[in-house]
């Protein structure tokens, strides 16, 4: 079957200018592959105005329904020799945000409305036990990996699909292209709401597999019509695998479904602010792009600090902060000299009184907020990790962030930064499970056998590195 869709279309610029174009769209073979889009301009048959990005293209050929949005190009061809009146040079395309096609569904298609979410390839999908199979063993060229269920989406079947490309065959062997999707029964055509719920679900699953799962598009089959939507179809979306060694995933195949369902049940119960915080942590732990150690550290610490200073966290830590400050103030009062018999002693008492007054009037410092956060949220969950706040001699995560913000990586020992970022990742993963009120999986539990296999987890090792963190210039 020919997959190419050729049609005449109208290209509309950002300011409303229009030109007619000849288009060809070949959708990806499977999720994760790139589309092929060619747009040609018959420049001898029309005046070509100056067109600004972004543009859109709509098909005008009968019985062909294609829409291309967020279409951006380098420039449009504007001149040609007179004897090349029917020349149609191709536009140099720099970006396409979305392609939507509508066509009649193939015979034998499912009568129940279904939406298939096309997903990026992740290491968890590739290494899943159910994905290890003989490609010739399945007649429909699909294999079910696992099934989840939520009140918003119903049953969600995650599957692997593949196609044989004989055009690329060599030595009599066809090339296999494979991708991944999740299928959901679509009630009453409410696909926009389903897409919104599914995107939120991917935030949680991305944390579990330690790799961003990207929604690449979707296919809807309903009432004999097939609607295909591809997002950023010219880009091969490969997100980085972000495992803190030696553990690969937070949970393995045998416990993945149980932990995933527990999180999916807890996530919607959180208020919008908490859901936004969880989403922030998801992008910090499983970003779209590969980043340097410094960039990962800065972004992850920013998300942690953002959480620590939120009003809800501050409210829960107020009592603890008050106790800490009260103890500090009592120690200052004890330092005062009773019955001072000299001007120096009176001056010292006066300065201590002024210091105490300033502490009582000022808001708690970030360090006090950190202490309160640990006591109220993470007690028993951070003592084995690189401390959040430290000293000049033994810097914590806060001191590393401060140094990176005001200087550059040359001021930080590179191995210390790498190990500190590793510990920060584990801390954020534990915090996510705390927020969802779920027990931490074995892979990130304090003192677990999995963590103890990692040299970077040994206290003697990272405490020695902690002393070497700040490099004197």
Question: What is the pLDDT, as a whole number, of residue 367?
Answer: 75
Buried b (16+ CB within 10 A) or exposed e, 353-373: eeebeeeeeeebeeebbbbbb
Q: Give 276-322 as a 3 state SS string.
A: HHHHHHHHHHCCCCCCCHHHHHHHHHHHHHHHHCCHHHHHHHHHHHH
With both helix axes pointing from N to C terminus, report the angle between 272-285 and 293-308 in degrees, rounded to the nearest 10. 160
Tell me what pLDDT residue 175 has.
Answer: 80
Predicted pLDDT of residue 297 = 93
Contact 209, 249 (CB under 8 A): yes
* Distance (Å, whole) CA 355 – CA 332: 9
Q: Are 181 and 159 in contact (CB under 8 A)?
A: yes
Q: Per-residue pLDDT tens for 147-182?
A: 999 888 889 999 999 888 776 556 667 788 889 999
Structure-token pair, residue 16: 């409303």
User: For residue 32, which of 190, 188, 158, 215 has the smallest C-alpha distance?
Assistant: 215
Q: Is 53 exposed, middle or buried (0-12, 13-18, 19+ CB in 10 A)?
A: middle
Instruction: Output the pLDDT for position 466.
Output: 92
Per-residue pLDDT tens listing for the chain (473 residues) = 457 899 999 999 999 989 999 999 999 988 888 999 999 988 776 777 788 889 999 999 988 899 999 999 987 776 555 556 667 788 899 999 999 999 876 655 566 788 999 999 999 998 887 777 776 666 778 889 999 998 888 899 999 998 887 765 566 677 888 899 999 987 765 788 889 999 999 999 999 999 999 999 999 988 778 899 999 999 887 788 877 765 678 988 888 999 999 999 998 888 888 889 999 999 999 998 888 889 999 999 999 999 888 776 766 655 555 555 566 666 666 666 676 666 676 777 777 777 666 655 556 667 777 877 887 788 888 999 999 988 888 999 999 999 888 877 778 889 999 999 999 999 999 999 999 999 999 989 999 988 888 889 999 999 999 999 887 76
How far is the C-alpha of 31 from the C-alpha of 49, rounded, in Å? Answer: 37
Give yes or no for a contact between 392 and 399, defined as CB atoms under 8 angstroms apart.
yes
Q: Which two tokens stand for residue 183?
A: 């299928």
The strand ranges marked E within 30-172 are 36-40, 55-59, 65-73, 93-104, 114-119, 142-150, 154-170
Q: Which of 264, 262, 258, 254 is nearest to 130 (CA)?
A: 254
The tokens describing 407, both together, are: 């200087």
Q: Is the pTM of this model over 0.75?
A: yes
Which pLDDT value is given to residue 148? 94
Bridge partners, residue 95, by sequence: 72
Report the pLDDT value the prediction gives residue 12, as an integer from 0 to 100. 94
Rounded-to-5 percentages of helix, strand, coil across the chain: 40, 25, 35
Q: What is the pLDDT of residue 385?
A: 95
Phi, psi of 449 (to 5 degrees): -60, -35
Residues 6+ away with beta carbon under 8 Å from 52: 13, 14, 15
pLDDT at 172: 62
Q: In what order do the strands lie in the sheet with 215-222?
A: 36-40, 18-26, 5-12, 55-59, 65-73, 93-104, 225-231, 215-222, 114-119, 173-185, 154-170, 142-150
Query: How long is the chain?
Result: 473
pLDDT for 98: 95
pLDDT at 81: 52
User: What DSSP string describes 320-385?
Assistant: HHHHHHHHHHHHHHHHSPSS--SHHHHHHHHHHHHHHHHHHHSPPPHHHHHHHHHHHT-TTTSTTS
Residues 3 and 450: their CA atoms lie apart, in Å, by 48
Token look-up 């495992």 returns 243
- Rounded to 5 degrees, φ, ψ at 345 are -65, -40
pLDDT at site 332: 64
| The pLDDT of residue 180 | 93
Residue with token string 């288009």: 23
In Å, how far are 139, 165, 175 from 170, measured between CA atoms? 23, 10, 8
* DSSP reduced 3-state for 438: coil
How far, in Å, CA of 387 to CA of 400, rounded?
11
């Amino acid at each position: 079957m020919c997959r190419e869709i050729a049609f005449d279309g109208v290209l509309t610029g950002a300011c409303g200018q229009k030109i007619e174009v000849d288009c060809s769209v070949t959708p990806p073979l499977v999720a994760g592959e790139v589309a092929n889009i060619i747009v040609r301009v018959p420049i001898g048959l029309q005046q070509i105005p100056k067109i600004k990005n972004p543009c859109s293209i709509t098909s005008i050929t009968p019985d062909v329904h294609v829409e291309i949005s967020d279409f951006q190009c380098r420039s449009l061809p504007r001149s040609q020799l007179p004897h090349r009146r029917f020349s149609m040079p191709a536009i140099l395309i720099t970006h396409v945000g979305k392609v939507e096609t509508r066509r009649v569904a193939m015979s034998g298609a499912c009568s129940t409305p279904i939406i298939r979410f096309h997903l990026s390839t992740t290491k968890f999908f590739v290494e899943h036990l159910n994905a290890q199979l003989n490609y010739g063993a399945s007649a429909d060229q699909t294999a079910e990996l696992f099934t989840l269920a939520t009140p918003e989406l119903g049953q969600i079947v995650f599957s692997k699909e593949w196609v044989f490309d004989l055009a690329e065959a060599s030595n009599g062997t066809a090339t296999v292209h494979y991708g991944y999707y999740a299928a959901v029964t679509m009630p009453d055509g409410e696909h926009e709401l389903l897409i919104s719920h599914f995107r939120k679900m991917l935030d949680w699953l991305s944390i579990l597999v330690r790799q961003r799962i990207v929604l690449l598009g979707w296919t809807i089959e309903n009432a004999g019509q097939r609607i295909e939507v591809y997002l950023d179809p010219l880009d091969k979306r490969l997100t980085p695998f972000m495992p803190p060694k030696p553990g690969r995933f937070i949970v393995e195949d045998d416990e993945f479904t149980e932990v995933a369902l527990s999180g999916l049940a807890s996530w919607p119960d959180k208020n919008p602010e908490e859901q936004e915080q969880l989403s922030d942590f998801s992008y910090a732990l499983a970003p779209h792009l590969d980043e340097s150690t410094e960039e990962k550290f800065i972004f992850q610490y920013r998300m942690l600090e953002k959480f620590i200073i939120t009003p809800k966290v501050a409210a829960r830590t107020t009592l603890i902060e008050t106790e800490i400050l009260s103890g500090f103030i009592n120690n200052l009062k004890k330092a005062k000299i009773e019955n001072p018999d000299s001007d120096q002693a009176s001056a010292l008492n006066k300065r201590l009184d002024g210091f105490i007054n300033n502490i009582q009037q000022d808001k708690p410092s970030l360090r006090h907020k950190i202490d309160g956060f640990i006591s109220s949220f993470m007690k028993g969950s951070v003592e084995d990790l690189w401390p959040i706040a430290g000293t000049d001699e033994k810097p914590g995560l806060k001191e590393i962030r401060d140094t990176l913000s005001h200087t550059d990586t040359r001021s930080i020992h590179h191995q210390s930064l790498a190990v500190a970022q590793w510990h920060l990742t584990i801390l954020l993963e534990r915090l996510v499970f705390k927020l969802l009120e779920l027990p931490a999986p074995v892979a990130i539990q304090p003192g677990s056998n999995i963590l103890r296999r990692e040299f970077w987890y040994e206290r003697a090792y990272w405490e020695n590195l902690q002393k070497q963190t700040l490099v004197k210039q």
